Structure 1
């Protein structure tokens, strides 16, 4: 059973975390290069948030957005 868990440890340390080890080594020589992926993710999330808000406004203006504040019929009594 111990060999099974050591195999899982080897898999994660040597295979799955290899890209993160490379980023950690890159950070020592080039901080901006190591953080480039963070900036890319922030740009993608910012664009997605902007697009989502734009679509919400468009649906509200067209009248497609129907909001019923009562979740169940017994709440209206």
Structure 2
């Protein structure tokens, strides 16, 4: 069973995370954090899109804002 877990370790350490080892050894903070900035930009765009969609539904009056909107309340 231990060979199975060593196989998983080998897969992740030597193959899947190999491109990240290159970024770790760059001497630039910007170069090392490129992936983080990409994920932050994607998250920001997704948040802006979601807020725009919520505003569209709010402006149309489709949202039930009554206090007892759920039957269990």
TM-score, normalised relative to structure 2: 0.71
In structure 2, runs of 5+ residues without a counterpart are none
Secondary structure at the aligned position of 1:61 is classed as helix
Distance 2:63 2:14 in 1: 50
Kindly state the Cα deviation for residue 68 of structure 1 after the two structures are TM-superposed. 5.7
Structure index of larger Rg: 1
- 2:39 maps to 41
Pairwise CA RMSD: 2.1
CA 61–18 in structure 1, closer or farther in 2 if over 3 Å, else same: same
Higher helix share: 1
CA 15–69 in structure 1, closer or farther in 2 if over 3 Å, else same: farther
TM-score, normalised relative to structure 1: 0.69
In structure 1, runs of 5+ residues without a counterpart are none
